[in-house]
Amino acid sequence: MTETFTGAFTQQEPIPEEAIEAAVRVMRSGRLHRYNVVEGETAEVALLEQEFAAAMEVDFALATASGGAAIATALRAVGVNPGDPVLTNAFTLAPVPGAIASLGAVPVYVGVTEALVIDLDHLADLAKTAGARVLLLSHMRGHICDMDRLMAICDAAEITVIEDCAHTMGARWKGVLSGNHGRVACYSTQTYKHLNSGEGGFLTTSDPEVMARSVILSGSYMLYGRHLAAPGPEVFEKVKYVTPNVSSRMDNLRAAILRPQLARLADQCARWNDRYRVVEDGLRDTPGLTVIDRPGHEAFVGSSIQFLLLDWSEAAIQDVLRRCAARGVELKWFGGAEPTGFTSRYDSWRYAPSERLPASDRVLKSILDMRLPLTFTLDDCATLARIIRAEVGAVWQQKGATG
């Protein structure tokens, strides 16, 4: 009998009971707004920011309404203005270039390699020619590039690095937590990320003035003294009259949901990686399929897995997608010509000009992606690998890559 999979790729684990209890306490108080506190009370958001800064080994943290809001805030805080070129990945998700465009700035796309990281040779060229002062670096789907070389390129060109760590919360490069190489880091707590509050995000930095601007931008109404993970009042004096309020705060309800999850982050990351390794091992040496080898310096979080069908025709890739779907396996293809609910290509973001990137187009066309929620068991992951291996092999044998 043909093996099928019946799990749900969008089903997350329940919110921990202590988080539910904390959320109920906040709701019973009625004080959901982060600055609505009674005498002697510290807001859940302020406590969460303090705990997140400690967890990410950084001086300051700001909780925001979403990961995209954190990115837009970071761009404003480092001085990006309308019309400015901003370097960013060609392989990313729409909120990344969208945050750049929302400021009236212009995304300039840097290519992707077969390792699914930013093309550092292309970055080095653009650092000299694009006129950009900022790189918004997306650690897309949790893949971390050689951060030593990237920072050397950017430092030499005086380019400020903002790290989009939506998929690398808890990951490291050579022991340094993701987000601590650049000047600012941004994180997401949307349902499919490493902490789940439905929507939400964080901005972190060790730059006092960037954090002061970010707090004002987020909508502090001069109540910055209620932040525990922020610089002193003397830093705010420099920026408070010249920084606009664009209101992107997190509320106490979401903070209450997140605090117990943050305490479990390391254990959750280890569980994701256990699942990733089972699928990775099961896919190795599949004819026509390329597994992404992870560098030894990278400590990643495998909440999703990607593999390549390099130089396969669109028809053959679509056949793999159909065959896997028929057996209950939900794969996402990043190479489709039309945007879908989960992704789009750099040439789909027509609010900004883009030049063709042939080498990157070849890689993008080949990427298949699969979520690995913690509701999947290790046996489930082995089943997924067997099904994918069988269906890729069947199409390869029948049609070949060009069929």
Res 1: pLDDT: 57
The pair of structure tokens assigned to 131 is 């006129």
Q: How far apart are CA 167 and CA 193, in angstroms?
A: 7
Q: Which CATH class is domain 265-399?
A: alpha beta
Task: Name 2's Cβ contacts closer than 8 Å, sequence gap at least 6.
Answer: 327
Write the single-letter amino acid at 20.
I
Res 400: pLDDT: 66
Q: How far apart are CA 198 and CA 189, in angstroms?
A: 7
Task: Name 318's Cβ contacts closer than 8 Å, sequence gap at least 6.
Answer: none
Strands (E), 259-384: 290-291, 298-299, 304-308, 332-333, 367-371
Domain boundaries, the chain: 17-263, 265-399
Task: Name 38's Cβ contacts closer than 8 Å, sequence gap at least 6.
Answer: 31
Instruction: Classify residue 133 as exposed, middle or buried by CB count within 10 Å of its CB (0-12, 13-18, 19+).
Output: middle
Instruction: Band the pLDDT of 131: cuts 50, 70, 90.
Output: very high
Q: How far apart are CA 356 and CA 50, in angstroms?
A: 44
Res 342: pLDDT: 64
The pair of structure tokens assigned to 44 is 């859940």
DSSP for residue 105 = -
Mean pLDDT across the stretch 124-143?
A: 98
Whether residue 67 is predicted with pLDDT greater than 70 in this model: the reply is: yes
CATH of 17-263, one of 3.90.1010.10, 3.40.640.10, 3.90.79.10, 3.20.20.70: 3.40.640.10
Res 115: pLDDT: 98
The pTM of this model reads: 0.96
DSSP for residue 393 = H
Rg (alpha carbons) of the chain, rounded to whole number: 22
Summary mean pLDDT of the chain: 96
SS3 state of residue 139: coil
Whether residue 62 is predicted with pLDDT greater than 60 in this model: the reply is: yes
Mean pLDDT across the stretch 387-401?
A: 89
pLDDT digits (tens, 9 = 90+) for 306-364: 999 999 999 999 999 999 999 999 999 988 877 777 667 898 888 888 889 999 999 99
* Helices 378-399 and 314-326, axial angle in degrees (round to 10): 140
Instruction: Band the pLDDT of 28: cuts 50, 70, 90.
Output: very high
Q: How far apart are CA 382 and CA 246, in angstroms?
A: 47
Q: What angle do CA 325, 291, 125 make, to 5 degrees?
A: 115
CA distances to 32, 66, 74, 245 from 248, rounded to whole Å, are 14, 8, 12, 9
